[in-house]
Amino acid sequence: MTTTPAPTRDASVSAVADVLRMPEPRPARPSALSTSMAFGHRALLKIKHVPEQLFDVTMFPIMFTLMFTFLFGGALAGSTEAYVQFLIPGILVQTVVMITMYTGLTLNKDIEKGVFDRFRSLPIWRPSPLVGALFGDIVRYTIASIIVMILGLVLGFRPEGGPIAVLASIALLLLFSFSLSWVWTMFAMLMRTEQAVMGASMFILFPLTFASNIFVDPATMPSWLRAFVDVNPISALVTTIRAFCAGEFDGGQLSVVLLWCAGFVVLFGPLTMRLYNRKH
């Protein structure tokens, strides 16, 4: 009987090396958009598992709209029906802009838990976790916008510009909110607790939203306050959206809004990434 000689150790090592050297197609590096969308999907999954996160985008719009309509409507415009035509574009802006601060709170929580340390080890575009979180929040902003518009229609709001104008208004608001969220993202990197992020965010948001043209015509304000209102980016956004809903186009105010959006992203985006790379 003929026996086959057992392979030597060198032959076994050579065979394993040949297998390891077999050409395998290297997976393509994921694009910046695909990784950002993946992290946006992660943000939505968090809402799925903790639906209480939608409380601020469902109850706050309803509460703000009803409260300001029936508290101020009769005093400022003579009736709630008349006031709602003026208020709804403004309350739409206030509602969505106020909930942008939760972007910073969520990111700060992830950072404190060490989640972002794991993301940094992945071979992906570095800003993807931050941009993806902002993409996920756009869904929340959209829900809040729809709720305000539906409630406004129930209360008697009638945009003369029609559905296209309403969609354009919401799209501009989403762009502004996405840009503004980079400010709160920077706060999430700078501050150590959620409470600190919330406190700093509200300290900025309250003057911006209440010292604006959301609730009253700036012509009724004292000159020193009107000077601030006139340069307030929230006022420019509200004026633009009111023009859209009225079937008009205010190119000057629209340009101001777009410049503010670009400024938020260009200034606070790189600052946020610098803090992210240095701290985490």
What average pLDDT score do residues 186-209 get?
90
Q: Give yes or no for residue 2 having a pLDDT over 90.
A: no
What average pLDDT score do residues 87-104 get?
90
**Confidence grade of residue 254 (pLDDT, cut at 50, 70, 90):** very high
Return the axis-axis angle of helices 162-190 and 233-245, rounded to nearest 10°: 160
What average pLDDT score do residues 134-138 get?
87
Measure CA of the first residue to CA of the last residue in the chain; give whole Å: 68
**Confidence grade of residue 15 (pLDDT, cut at 50, 70, 90):** low
pTM of the model: 0.83
Q: Can you give the residue ranges of every domain in the chain? A: 38-279
Interatomic CA distance for residues 272 and 280, integer angstroms: 11
pLDDT of residue 61: 82
pLDDT of residue 36: 84
pLDDT of residue 207: 92
pLDDT of residue 27: 66
Percent of the chain past pLDDT 90, that is, above it, reads 39
pLDDT of residue 81: 82
pLDDT of residue 12: 59
pLDDT of residue 174: 95
Interatomic CA distance for residues 224 and 239, integer angstroms: 20
